[in-house]
C-alpha cells in the first residue's frame, strides 16, 4: 500500500511539473506553435522558414490596394530589431499595437484579438523573444494607403486566461487571442470588423504564390463545415494541412507551427470548434 501511495505521489508530481512551465518555456511554446509569430515574421524560401533567420522579418505579408505590409525584425538585434526596447515596450507593442515612439503598428498583425491575450502569456512571449538569436536585418517600412486609427482601443487592463479546465472557454482563448484562427476564418463586415455573429464561417480569400485559397468554414455545419469530420480528421488538417478528403491545404495557415500544438490544447481547440453555432 505504501508503494502504491508513493507511486500516486510520484505521478501527481510529474503532472504538476509538466504543467508548471517557466515563463520562458511557455513563451517558446506559444511563439513556436499555436501563436505562430514566425508565420509572418520569419522569412521563407521555397522549402519553408529560412534557417538562421528566425523572426528576422522582411517578408511582404500582404500587398493589397489598402497597404503593403512588411513584417518587422523582432529579434533582439539592437539596431534593426527590437533589442533596444524595454520589456514593457515590447509587451505594449504586442498587445496594443503601439511602438515606443507612440506610432501604431499596422495590419495584418491581429491586434483585435491580441488585445485579449493574458498578461502572463504576453510576458512569456516577451521573455522568449529576448532569448532568440539577434539577426541583423534592416527591413523596409510598410506602406499604409489607408489612415490607421490613433489606437486599436483604450488601454487594456489586466487579463487572465480562462481556466484550462473549462475546455470551451480555453479553446476559445486559443482559437482567438492566442492562435488568431478566428481572424482568418471569420468573415469581415464592410467596415473591416470581424462578423462575430458568424464566427468560423470562413470565406475570406488569401492571395499568394500558391494562387488564391479561401478560409474554410470551421463551424460544425454538416457538409459545408466540419460537422461530418472526426476529431482525428480535424487534428490532421490543423497539424499537417491535409483535408478530410486527403486534399493538401494551401497556405497561409501555419501548419508547420501547429504540428507541435500540445495534445490538451488541441483537444480544447476541437471542443471549442464543435461548440460554435453551425454556419452555412
Chain contacts with ligand HEC (rule: CB under 6 A) = 34-35, 37, 39-41, 61, 69, 71-72, 74, 82, 90, 93-94, 99, 105-106, 108-109, 125, 142, 175, 179-181, 184-185, 206, 213-216, 218, 234, 237-238, 243, 249-250, 252-253, 258, 269
* Nearer to ligand HEC among residue 6 and residue 272 (C-beta): 272
The least CB distance from residue 186 to ligand HEC, in Å, is: 10
The least CB distance from residue 74 to ligand HEC, in Å, is: 5
* Nearer to ligand HEC among residue 14 and residue 155 (C-beta): 155
Measured in whole angstroms, the distance separating CA 76 from the mean position of its chain's CA atoms is: 20
Closest CA to 140 of 47, 61, 49, 84: 61
The least CB distance from residue 82 to ligand HEC, in Å, is: 6
* Nearer to ligand HEC among residue 190 and residue 211 (C-beta): 211
Q: DSSP letter for 190, please.
A: T
Contact criterion met (CB below 8 Å) for 188 and 195: yes
The least CB distance from residue 5 to ligand HEC, in Å, is: 41
Residues 178 and 97: their CA atoms lie apart, in Å, by 15
Three-state SS string across 29-40, please?
HHHHCCCCCHHH
* Nearer to ligand HEC among residue 138 and residue 155 (C-beta): 138
The neighbouring-strand residues paired with 211 are 208
* Nearer to ligand HEC among residue 108 and residue 116 (C-beta): 108
Residues 50 and 60: their CA atoms lie apart, in Å, by 15
The least CB distance from residue 86 to ligand HEC, in Å, is: 12
Residues 57 and 61: their CA atoms lie apart, in Å, by 10
Q: Name the region of 97 (left: φ>0; alpha: ψ -120 to 50; beta: rest).
A: left
Contact criterion met (CB below 8 Å) for 125 and 177: no
The least CB distance from residue 104 to ligand HEC, in Å, is: 7
Residues 216 and 203: their CA atoms lie apart, in Å, by 6
* Nearer to ligand HEC among residue 11 and residue 277 (C-beta): 277
Q: What are phi and psi of 206, to 5 degrees?
A: -130, 120
Q: What are phi and psi of 44, to 5 degrees?
A: -120, 145
The least CB distance from residue 142 to ligand HEC, in Å, is: 3
* Nearer to ligand HEC among residue 12 and residue 192 (C-beta): 192
Amino acid at each position: 500500500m505504501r508503494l502504491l501511495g508513493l507511486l500516486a505521489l510520484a505521478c501527481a508530481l510529474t503532472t504538476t511539473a509538466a504543467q508548471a512551465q517557466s515563463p520562458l518555456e511557455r513563451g517558446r511554446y506559444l511563439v513556436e506553435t499555436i501563436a505562430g509569430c514566425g508565420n509572418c515574421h520569419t522569412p521563407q524560401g521555397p522549402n519553408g522558414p529560412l534557417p538562421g533567420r528566425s523572426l528576422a522579418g522582411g517578408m511582404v505579408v500582404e500587398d493589397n490596394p489598402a497597404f503593403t505590409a512588411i513584417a518587422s525584425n523582432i529579434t533582439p538585434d539592437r539596431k534593426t530589431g527590437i533589442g533596444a526596447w524595454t520589456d514593457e515596450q515590447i509587451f505594449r507593442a504586442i498587445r496594443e499595437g503601439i511602438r515606443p515612439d507612440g506610432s501604431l503598428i499596422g495590419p495584418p498583425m491581429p491586434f483585435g484579438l491580441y488585445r485579449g491575450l493574458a498578461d502572463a502569456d504576453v510576458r512569456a512571449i516577451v521573455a522568449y523573444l529576448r532569448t532568440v538569436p539577434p539577426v541583423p536585418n534592416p527591413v523596409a517600412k510598410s506602406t499604409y494607403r489607408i489612415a490607421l486609427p490613433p489606437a486599436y482601443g483604450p488601454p487594456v487592463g489586466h487579463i487572465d486566461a480562462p481556466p484550462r479546465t473549462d475546455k470551451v472557454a480555453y479553446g476559445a482563448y486559443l482559437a482567438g487571442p492566442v492562435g488568431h484562427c478566428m481572424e482568418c476564418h471569420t468573415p469581415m463586415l464592410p467596415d473591416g470588423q470581424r462578423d462575430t455573429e458568424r464566427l468560423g464561417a470562413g470565406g475570406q480569400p488569401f492571395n499568394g504564390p500558391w494562387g488564391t485559397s479561401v478560409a474554410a468554414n470551421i463551424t460544425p455545419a454538416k457538409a459545408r463545415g466540419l460537422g461530418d469530420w472526426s476529431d482525428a480528421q480535424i487534428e490532421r488538417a490543423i497539424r499537417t494541412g491535409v483535408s478530410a478528403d486527403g486534399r493538401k491545404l494551401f497556405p497561409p495557415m501555419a501548419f508547420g507551427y501547429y504540428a507541435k500544438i500540445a495534445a490538451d490544447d488541441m483537444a480544447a481547440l476541437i471542443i471549442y470548434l464543435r461548440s460554435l453555432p453551425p454556419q452555412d
